[in-house]
Each structure stands twice: as structure tokens, then as C-alpha cells.
Amino acid sequence: MDRLYRYRSKNVHDLKVEGMVVRLWSVAGLDDRREIERAFEPLARSGFVHPYAALMPDWHPGEDAVIGSVVPTRGTLLPTVIGGDIGCGMIAVRLPVLFADLRPGLERIGDALRQVIPVGTAHNASVSGRVEQNPIWERTLRAPVSSRSMRKLMRQFGSLGGGNHFLEIQRDGQERLWVMLHSGSRYLGVEVRDYYVSAGQGREGVDGKLYRRLPHLPLESAIGQDYLADVQSVMEFARGSRREMMLRAIEAVAREAPGLDAEGLLGDAIEISHNHVRVEEHFGERLCVHRKGAVRLAEGQSGLVPGSMGTCSYVVEGRGNPHGFFSCAHGGGRAMSRSAALRSVSSKAFKKSMSDVVCRHDGQLLDEAPEAYKDIRQVMRGQADLVRIVHELVPVLSIKGR
């Protein structure tokens, strides 16, 4: 451990993977050493990572990348490290409403939310004037996107998507209600990633053999700059879509709590992205910092760390820890794969774990059951030197992207 590390060091562990250092934040220590080594082997062999990779306590292996990782490089962009859901993130708003006042109407609020926010593969049946007038459509992507695709995107704008994406009503320690949602860039991020992975092959400055294992783009190349610009545009699309859904959600809640000013409340929203690449300065160097399932938080900046659909979520503030590249966990992190959860979690146990939450209890959601995720409180203990807790939020209504 670096002797200059001035924070709590007992939950911080360094592991070498073929010469590359992975710095892990976890109360469990290096119990997952072998799994970490397997997950980081392609990155370690590439030689791109500098000075080391940071691994958040919610980490788990993904299909193409390590979820919960922060991967800095010198002048190299790695499109598959952040994957296709570019700009995936969170938004939360605190309402001037007490839980007791809305408790009788939660079922009606849930019905209203499902009417105005499409989930899963569904999209909006029509495009509203508010969506048409959103300034996001003034941005121009450098990757080719057809007019047909753009029309599809307009219908997807303001829709939740699938997987672990969610919309929740939560209450804090003062019994005030919050609306929190998690969503991404729908298929736009996938299209942008796939274009640049394909277009980068055979380019000057690219190692062809290595590229097949780990696609990479030189930051200072034309294609690298185009990719970086398009990542920013996709992030803005994802953020705008979340803001549109938040407006609809507050308007739906207002049916039970008249007088809520959706636009005004949106102005105080907490917003974060946990899937992106940015050029940042760390330890006196200009680095390309890839965050896959990790949140950038400057010292004192507000952020969000959600639990599973039956457990607490957290409003946090960054501690400004440079050793974590000013990052923190993005959630509870999966404890088991979706297929394993479907095999091992019983419908009875799932229903019992969700007894205090208005939500669906059917078997299609077993892979999102609390048992399928890590203990969120243990995750928070593991990152105590990265963030401080401001609010603990308890779910009272949960809608999953299914």
C-alpha cells in the first residue's frame, strides 16, 4: 500500500495481475483474488493501464468488461471497457411530501407511472411536443446514424429500458419522499460503440493483433476524438431521457399530491453517470479515465448509490479521495448471475423480501431479487473513505425495467 495513502487503509487492498496493479476497496479483502485476476487479465496483458486500475466494492465480472472498475490509461481509449450502455446513470429528486400523506395512494401512483414511462423493450407510442423540442436533437453525432434510427430514438427518449434499470419512490429518515430512477442510452450507446469498434480496425497507430482482443483508439487520432465527442453526446441523450422521465414521474405523483412543481423540483435533482470515459488529470498526469459501473464524485459533490429493489439506497457526498480517482461504487453489485438467481431464488422468498414494497412479485423478476445482489451496507462500509452517507433511503414503490 502506498505510504502516502492518508485514508482508512484496512479496506483497501492492492493486487498485482501480470504486473498491473488493481487497487480494491472491500471489507471482504482479497477473497475474490482468482476471479479478479481472471477478469483483469486482458487489460493487464494490453499494457494500457496506468498507473493502476481501481475496483469498487460492488464489482463483479461483466460480459466484456469488469463492472465496478475505474481504468485509467495514457492516451488510449477503450470502447469495450465502458461498453454499449454509454451514459447509464441515475437521477433523484426529493419531494416536499411526507410518506404518510401518499401511502394510501401508492398503488394508484404505481399504475400512473407505468402508464407514462415505458419499460423493458417498450417505447413511447408517440412523441410529445416536449420531447420534440428537447435541445438534445440539435447535437450531431460523428458516427453515422440513419434518419430511421433517429426516429426510433425519439420514441425511446423517456423510456426506462430493461435489466436492472428501475424507478422507485423512497423515503428518507425524515419521512420525506424521493423519486429515483436508473436508466441508460437505450440502443444509441450500443450503436455508437459498435461503429467505433468496427471503424478502428486497421487504423494507423493500432496494433491489429491486440485490437482483436481489446479494441483501442489513440486519443489524439481523428477517430479517437470523434469517439470521445460522441460519448459526450450519448451521455447527454441518456441524461436528457432521465430528466424527461423524472418530469413524468413527478407529474404522476402530483395526481395524489396536487401542487408539485415538476420543473422546479427537477432543478434540484442529483444526477450522476456511471458508464463513461473522460479525459481527467490525476497525479499530475492527463489520463483517459474509463468508469464502468463507477461514479465520479469530487469532494463534497452529491451522488447516488442504489441498493437492490428491496434494500436501501444512499445519497452520498464524495470525500475527494485521489487514490480512487475521485470515484465510488454505483450500486449493490450482483452477488450471483441472472441464471443462477433464477435457479436458486424461490418465489416465496422473493415475495417475502418485498413485502413492504409496492411492486411486482412474479417469477420474471427473480433475477432482480435482493438475494441476487451484494449486501449494500457492506458495500458502503467498503467505500467509507470514498464517500460519506447523507441520506439512507428505503424503497416503498419499485418498478423494474421488465
Catalytic residue chosen out of the listed positions 13, 290, 330, 391: 330
211 neighbors 94 (Cβ within 8 angstroms): no
In the structure grid, which three cell numbers stand for residue 56, read together?
469498487
Helix (H, G, I), strand (E, B) or coil at 273: strand
Q: Looking at residue 312, what DSSP letter applies?
A: -
230 neighbors 141 (Cβ within 8 angstroms): yes
- Percentage of residues of the chain with pLDDT beyond 90: 76
Confidence of residue 355 (pLDDT cuts 50, 70, 90): confident
Specify the pLDDT at position 339.
Answer: 85
Whether 282 is catalytic is no
Q: Average pLDDT in the 188-212 region? A: 90
Confidence of residue 343 (pLDDT cuts 50, 70, 90): confident
Specify the pLDDT at position 3.
Answer: 47
Q: Before 51, cis peptide (omega within 30)?
A: yes
Average pLDDT, the chain: 92
Q: What is the pLDDT of residues 302-338, one digit of tens each?
A: 999 999 888 999 999 999 999 999 999 999 988 888 8
Lowest mean pLDDT among 5-9, 176-180, 279-283, 319-323: 5-9
Q: Average pLDDT in the 214-237 region? A: 97
- DSSP for 84-119, written as a single string: S-TT-EEEEEEEEEEHHHHGGGHHHHHHHHHHHS--
Half-sphere exposure of 291 (CA within 13 A, CB side): 25
Confidence of residue 5 (pLDDT cuts 50, 70, 90): low
Q: Is residue 205 scored above 80 in pLDDT?
A: no
- Alpha carbon separation from 91 to 120, 173, 233, 271, 345 (Å, rounded): 18, 19, 18, 4, 29
Confidence of residue 8 (pLDDT cuts 50, 70, 90): low
Instruction: Write out 52-79 in H/E/C secondary structure.
Output: CEEEEEEEEECCCCEEEEEEEECCEECH
* pLDDT: which is higher, 349 or 130: 130
274 neighbors 88 (Cβ within 8 angstroms): yes
What are the start-end ranges of the H helices in 254-319?
262-266
Q: Is residue 118 scored above 50 in pLDDT?
A: yes
Specify the pLDDT at position 252.
Answer: 97
* pLDDT: which is higher, 93 or 402: 93
Specify the pLDDT at position 110.
Answer: 96
Helix (H, G, I), strand (E, B) or coil at 378: helix
Q: What is the pLDDT of residues 236-274, one digit of tens each?
A: 999 999 999 999 999 999 999 999 999 999 999 999 999
Specify the pLDDT at position 208.
Answer: 86
Cα–Cα distance for residue pair 23/13, rounded to 1 Å: 6
Architecture of domain 12-335+373-400: Alpha-Beta Complex (3.90)
In the structure grid, which three cell numbers stand for residue 67, read together?
463492472
Strands 76-77 and 12-17 turn out to be unpaired
Q: Average pLDDT in the 11-29 region? A: 92
Q: Looking at residue 369, what DSSP letter applies?
A: S
Amino acid at 359: C
Specify the pLDDT at position 1.
Answer: 47
Q: Is residue 148 scored above 90 in pLDDT?
A: no
* pLDDT: which is higher, 2 or 285: 285
Q: Average pLDDT in the 167-186 region? A: 97
